Amino acid sequence: MGIHEKSAFYDLEGFKAGNSTLQRSIERDELRDVSGLTLLHLQCHIGLDTISWAQLGAKVTGVDFSERAVELARSLALEVGVDARFLCSDIYKLPDVLEGQFDVVFTSWGVLPWLPDIPSWAAVIAHFVRPGGTFYIIDGHPVINGLDKAGDRFRSTAPYFQGPEPNRFDDGRTYADAEAIVDPPTNYQWDHPLGDVVTALADAGLRIEFLHEHGALPWPRFESMTRGSGGQWRLDGDPFPLSFSILARRPS
């Protein structure tokens, strides 16, 4: 957590100075006005998006399984003068510790690979979306998880359709700082095909209103990506989708 707190990737000083972490041309435009709405942010990490939604008028609750992340989120909210509630919980156990339903359930960027069970995740979401309410996710597109770039060519390094076992990574690296070494070095991640995500949400009783695929990411996933004026990174020619977003509603 100390690596993330000090990293240029999260730029906490810029955030405290007023920089929003929400992508104006994607999640802010797609989710639209949240002023006065109750918003539950799942896997909120250190709470930057949670606080950014609060600054746009939402009544926010952020949830993460890391106590250190939640502590930092609380301190950041106090420092920038935002009313935000943060709760430490395993996402799958959240219905046991959090009451009520919300106008919006939100989650974003890098959340799905940490989840072993997508149908149970979708059931938790449906539990917390009020009738007529909205669920919204934006994340990296699963097609990029098994791709690497060598020169001008992309090559497949892992199958798109993963088996029951997670991917194991032992390099001790973190996306937030390429020079930092994490101890312990091993982490496990799951790749979920986009169809599995959509199907799980539909099976949980949510109505899919849109699935959008985007040619942009908020970080440079591949070499030779270029950064636009909105802060998003793209590949020349948009050869394949880099991210996706889903908006679903719970029927009234």
User: How does residue 179 score in pLDDT terms, banded at 50, 70 and 90?
Assistant: low
Residue 65 burial (10 A CB sphere; 0-12, 13-18, 19+): middle
Which has more confidence, 238 or 24? 238
User: How does residue 207 score in pLDDT terms, banded at 50, 70 and 90?
Assistant: very high
Give 153's strand partners: 150
Structural domain total, the chain: 1
Tens digit of pLDDT for each residue in 219-252?
899 988 999 877 889 999 999 999 999 999 999 9
Could you tell me if residue 157 is inside a domain?
no
Return the pLDDT at 12.
81
Could you tell me if residue 184 is inside a domain?
no
Q: Identify the CATH number of the domain in which residue 238 sits.
A: 3.40.50.150
Helix axis angle for 48-55 and 67-80, nearest 10°, is: 30
Q: Are 105 and 42 in contact (CB under 8 A)?
A: yes
Could you tell me if residue 227 is inside a domain?
yes
Could you tell me if residue 36 is inside a domain?
yes
User: Residue type at 38?
Assistant: T
pTM: 0.92
* Phi/psi of residue 207, nearest 5 degrees: -100, 120
Q: Does pLDDT of 5 surpass 80?
A: no
Could you tell me if residue 218 is inside a domain?
yes
Structural domain harbouring 233: 2-147+191-249
Provide the 3-class DSSP secondary structure of residue 134: strand
Asked if omega into 131 is within 30° of 0 (cis), the reply is no
pLDDT, average across residues 156-168: 86
Which has more confidence, 219 or 63? 63
Distance CA 13, CA 18 (A): 9
Could you tell me if residue 221 is inside a domain?
yes
